[in-house]
Amino acid sequence: MSAPRVSARVSGIEESATIRIANLARKLRAEGKDVISLSLGEPDFDTPAHIKRAAWESLQQGETHYTQSAGIPELRNAIAKKLREENGLDVVPEQVIVTPGAKYAIFEVACTLLEEGDEVVLIGPAWVSYEACIRFSGARTTWVNTSLENGFVPEPEQIAEQVGSSTRLLILNSPCNPTGAVYPKDVLRAVADLACDHDFFVLSDEIYEKIIYGGEHVSIGAFEGMQERTITVNGFSKAYAMTGWRLGYAAAPEWIIRGMLKIQSHSVSHPTSFVQRAGVAALSGDQSEVEHMRAQFERRRDVLIEGLWRLGMECPKPEGAFYVFAHVGRWGTGDEVAERLLNEALVALTPGTAFGSAYRDYVRISYAASIEQLQEALKRMEAVL
């Protein structure tokens, strides 16, 4: 029998840290431990009823067979319309691909655009799966690390320093997971200018665009000169509480979509048929629950941030998404603090190093949990720390 050997590509990446810790918290809960999980970025709300109904009706109508690889025309149309009307992007349905989750769209972009020798600029701290997708493609990551003092917003000069002749792609994520930072328009403008001057692409992951507090979401793909060099990625997981449905999408120049489509048609074929119908209902139906969830997240943010500040944790008030990225250096490294809190307080957090090696003294706290759970978690954390 041949030796158990996985490919170099696979051994070069780690399992998703956010998912690993969430599974650990689930396991402890199954063993009867009263763990409060503030580790996973997953809305705790139910998917709105009209969206579930659309999937059910689709099943009843027998839509249980293969669909077009790029997604059903009705959904590609609805996405293109949404991107034109809400995001100011000049998009036709042929420039849209529907994917099983935004994560798969990111993977497809990496495999379509990148190869050995290419460099990708990541703004740190960055969501766990970007670097894994880059590595998998064979390209290298160059980090631009933001700091707590700047509210985790990058300085355009910092980015300019990391851009060179090998730069092929820059990944933007505003509102940002794990910091909750929302990048101001002038920072996006500066990134767009760099992309045009140095001829690289921008993957703009806008999955938290609906979870924003006060500010306004800006899509970099709408800036002059950016249409032909932006891949806008989004999905239904966060805005519509649809994490388990696995539905996302990307909009990009048609030649990029065609490349992504090759990967999709040979791997997953397409997202689930009746789930795509639910996506049409989500985009074209009543949006009031999206706002209701956003308002609840805002209230939770306020409760959590007050409590963390009282505890002495350093963290800026997040302007979007549902995460706080907190400096915990006075108690130890992020790994140590997360381990202690899990064992002694039964509170699960994610260590900062999951989002970049520069963040060893940080933890990420997800507030996709009820106010009661957040208050209880704060009480337990206070007792331990």
- Give yes or no for residue 167 binding ligand PMP (CB under 6 A): no
Q: In whole angstroms, what is the distance from residue 313 CA to residue 290 CA?
A: 30
Which one of ligand PMP, ligand GLU, none is in contact with 101 (Cβ closer than 5 to 8 A by kind)? Answer: ligand PMP
Angle in degrees, CA 174, 180, 183, rounded to 5: 40
Q: Residue 237, interface with ligand PMP (CB under 6 A)?
A: yes
One-letter identity of residue 277: R
18 part of the interface to ligand GLU, by CB under 6 A: yes
> Closer to ligand PMP at the Cβ: 107 or 274?
107
Element (H, E) at 284: helix 273-284
Kindly write out the interface string for residues 19-38 of this chain, putting x where it contacts ligand GLU by CB under 6 A and - elsewhere. Answer: x-------------------
- How many angstroms separate the CA atoms of 355 and 352, rounded? 6
139 or 176, CB closer to ligand GLU? 176
The residues that bridge with 121 in the sheet, in sequence order, are 142, 170
Interface residue with ligand PMP, options 47, 69, 95, 243 (CB under 6 A): 243
| Local structure of residue 160 (DSSP, 8 states) | H
- Token pair for 109: 């972009």
Q: Which is nearer to ligand GLU, 19 or 295 (CB)?
A: 19
Q: How far is the CB of 15 from ligand PMP (least distance, A)?
A: 14
Based on the shown chain and the rule CB under 6 A, indicate whether residue 16 belongs to the binding site for ligand GLU. yes
How does DSSP classify residue 169?
Answer: E
Tell me, residue by residue from 88 to 107, as one string, x for binding to ligand PMP by CB under 6 A and - for no binding.
-------------xxx----
The least CB distance from residue 295 to ligand GLU, in Å, is 21
Q: Which is nearer to ligand PMP, 131 or 205 (CB)?
A: 205
Q: Quick check: 354 and 128 in contact, CB under 8 A? A: yes
Q: Which stretch binds ligand GLU (CB under 6 A): 13-21, 62-70, 182-190, 371-379?
A: 13-21
Residues 6+ apart with CB under 8 A from 205: 102, 106, 127, 171, 172, 173, 233, 234
Nearest distance from C-beta of residue 175 to ligand PMP, angstroms:
9
Q: In the structure encoding, which two tokens stand for residue 217, read together?
A: 């979401």
- 248: partner contacted, choices ligand GLU, ligand PMP, none (Cβ within 5-8 A by kind): ligand PMP
CB atoms within 10 A of CB 77: 17
Binding of ligand PMP by 365 (CB under 6 A): no
The CB density around residue 343, as the number of other CB atoms within 10 Å, is: 11
Nearest-approach distance from CB 2 to ligand PMP, in angstroms: 34
CB atoms within 10 A of CB 52: 15
Per-residue CA distances from 32 to 29, 368, 378, 383 (Å):
5, 22, 21, 21
Burial profile 130-140: b = 16 or more Cβ within 10 angstroms, e = fewer? bbbbbbbbbbe
The 8-class DSSP code of residue 344 comes to I
> At closest approach, how far in Å is the CB of 132 from ligand PMP?
12
- Residues in 15-74 at the binding interface with ligand PMP, rule: CB under 6 A: 41
By CB under 6 A, what part of segment 133-192 binds ligand GLU? 177
40 binds, among ligand PMP, ligand GLU, none (CB under 5 to 8 A by kind): ligand GLU
Beta carbons of 200 and 230 less than 8 angstroms apart: no
Q: How far is the CB of 217 from ligand GLU (least distance, A)?
A: 18
Map tokens 């990009």 to a residue: 252
The binder of ligand GLU chosen from 25, 35, 38, 40 (CB under 6 A): 40
Site of interaction with ligand GLU (CB under 6 A): 16, 18-19, 40-42, 103, 127-129, 177
Site of interaction with ligand PMP (CB under 6 A): 41, 101-103, 127, 173, 177, 205, 207, 235, 237, 243, 248
